[in-house]
Chain A
């Protein structure tokens, strides 16, 4: 009996796009979120619902702007706030977990182009964040009636906003070396952006300089457009919002593409 020499497996062939590889990487990210979705999405629903209820009780007799009830005004803010936090968290933890546990090698070894890696890094958190936004939207329906003047516009901004914050998260995940760094970015970047965005208060309550600063916050534009779509009341224009979010997302995509391509922090 001679030695059996196994044929080496032929390399899998694919065209210009490694569709199977890209899909696998994407699915891996999504499955990782959905393993804990019960606590994370439901947790977001509970804390968002609580925030809304607290605003409704504490400001029972008031109105924040243009005849909207407190609930109508705050609900879109709560939805976008929860979704942004989830997008950031997803984008950052997906990358950071791989780096810290060493499983980043699985991604680097796979025959994936930079663009395909970006898809797997950014789209799963976008999906998760949009799902969170929709779930929280469901919760807010218990407490308030929207007039739904342009619901598709709100949905479009939910997606755009998720994309932007997933990109921010992915960049932070790439940059961070340990969980401490991620915690710092969350506390000193995301929470200020999230809270000081006009999600919970009207721009009119601010002095001029504050208005300008909030206006520079991308989350303000998505909250404002989403609020316009749900209630018909907006403080800025959705067109400006779309331009701001799309151009910032394109910019971040380019930065992320270059960093991933150069192997920043992940290749020796």
Chain B
């Protein structure tokens, strides 16, 4: 026993302003490192899958110089496949991050730090958007080797790439908060995300659909992001470009508000 008690200064609380930049940056980095750590599955595998899709559709339906929307079938297919892959990966990143954190119990690492709901949402979604864009760039480069393309309006494509990744990342946060185990998120992927991304004009122009199908397609936000992204490549779109940009911005705003509300109230996260 020491006669002179040593005074230990209690650690001071870290101070920060209106935004906890360091906390936000840390969460974002954690989300990015999580998928970079298994890059064969998160970056390379999507490239292989999308190239295989390109191959089978080109081999099955692209014969005889077939044209869709005024361009070769393969040129039509490329932007659709890039967008589909980006969307699926952005969704997978946020949803799997939240569900595995819940299952393993390290969700407290997200809930305990002094992060506001907006910072939490931004950090999570930022990771999803980063994965979506990184996958998008890799897939674009890989496809260019097989189907050289030029860009008609790169900024329109960039806008849609970012906004679509954000939309799916936010949907993934939403799904991840709702789901209690991996089965639930697999069900959301199988029964919602895959059907929407398959049936939204990735593989065909919606002019081919019956009138009812066309009406339904126009109610589907996935249709606008694929259509707008493709416009940036081939200069043809099934609907007005500015309308698509507005719709997807509106959807993102709505999703942001829902996610923010969920994180704020602790829906399915805090007891």
| Contact status A180-B40, CB under 8 Å | yes
Query: Contact between A55 and B40 (Cβ–Cβ < 8 Å)?
Result: no
Residues of A within 8 A of B203 (CB): 54, 57-58
B215 within 8 A of A: no
Q: How far is the CA of A50 from the CA of B192 in the complex (A)?
A: 12
Q: Mark A17-56, 1 if CB is under 8 A from B, else 0.
A: 0000000000000000000100110110011001101110
Across the interface, do B199 and A54 meet the contact criterion of CB distance under 8 Å? yes
- Contact B63 A57, beta carbon cutoff 8 Å: no
Distance, CA A188 to CA B48, complexed state (A): 7
Interface membership of chain B positions 55-67, coded 1 if the CB is closer than 8 angstroms to chain A and 0 otherwise: 1110111010000
- Taking the nearest CB of chain A, how far is it from the CB of B52, in angstroms? 4
A 77-110 binary contact with B (CB < 8 Å = 1; else 0): 0000000000000000000000000000000000
A191 to B48 alpha-carbon distance, docked (Å): 8
Per the bound structure, the CA–CA distance linking A55 and B204 in Å amounts to: 9
For residue B53, which residues in chain A have a CB less than 8 angstroms away from its CB? 195
CA distance in complex: A113, B51 (Å): 44
Residues of B within 8 A of A138 (CB): none
Chain B interface residue number, banded: 20 to 34
* Residues 196-235 of chain A, each 1 if its beta carbon lies under 8 Å from chain B, else 0: 1000111001100000000000000000000000000000
- Interface hits, B175-220 → A, CB 8 Å: 183, 186-187, 190-191, 194-195, 198-199, 202-204, 208-209
Residues A200 and B41 in contact, CB atoms below 8 Å apart: no
Q: Is B38 an interface residue (CB 8 A)?
A: yes
Q: Which residues of B contact A206 (CB under 8 A)?
A: 59
B110 within 8 A of partner (CB):
no
Contacts of A263 in B (CB 8 A): none
A interface SS class: helix
Interface extent on A, as a size class? 20 to 34
Residue of B38, B52, B61, B198 touching A51 (CB-CB under 8 A): B198
Given A54-B203, A57-B208, check contact A196 B55 (CB 8 Å).
yes
Pick from B52, B187, B194: contact of A47, CB below 8 A. Answer: B194
Given contacts A36-B183, A187-B49, contact A58 B199 (CB under 8 A): no
Q: How far is the CB of A109 from chain B (nearest CB, A)?
A: 28
The interface residues of chain A lying within 8 Å CB-to-CB of B191 are 42-43, 46
Q: Is the Cβ of A43 less than 8 Å from the Cβ of B61? A: no
CB distance from B44 to the nearest CB of A (A): 7
Please report the C-alpha to C-alpha distance between residue A74 and residue B56 in the assembled complex, in whole angstroms: 11
Closest-by-CB residue of A relative to B185 is A39
A205 with B49: CB separation less than 8 A = no
A60, B208: Cβ atoms closer than 8 Å:
yes
- Digit string of B24-42 for contact with A (CB within 8 Å is 1, else 0)? 0000000000000010110
**Contact status B195-A64, CB under 8 Å:** no
Say yes or no: A184 contacts B40, CB within 8 Å: yes
Give A50 to B193 CA distance when docked, in angstroms: 12
Distance to closest chain A CB from B169 (angstroms): 21
B151 contacts the other chain (CB 8 A): no
CA distance A180 to B199 in the complex (A): 30
Bound complex: CA A74 to CA B41 (Å): 28
Q: Does A111 contact B (CB under 8 A)?
A: no
The yes or no answer to B45 lying at the interface (CB within 8 A) is yes
Name the residue among A51, A57, A62, A186 with the largest chain B CB count within 10 angstroms. A57
Question: Are A58 and B190 in contact, with the CB atoms below 8 A?
Answer: no
Shortest CB-to-CB span from B123 to chain A, Å, is 25
Give me 11 other A-B pairs in contact (C-beta within 8 A), A60-B208, A192-B52, A201-B56 excluded.
Answer: A36-B183, A43-B190, A43-B191, A58-B203, A58-B208, A187-B41, A191-B52, A195-B53, A200-B56, A205-B63, A206-B59
Of the A-B pairs whose beta carbons lie under 8 Å apart in the complex, a sample of 16, sorted by A's number, is: A39-B186, A46-B190, A46-B191, A46-B194, A53-B198, A58-B61, A58-B204, A58-B208, A183-B38, A184-B41, A187-B41, A187-B49, A188-B45, A192-B48, A195-B56, A200-B60
Those 10 A-B pairs whose CB atoms lie nearest each other, nearest first = A43-B190, A187-B45, A201-B59, A201-B60, A195-B52, A58-B204, A183-B41, A200-B56, A59-B61, A50-B198
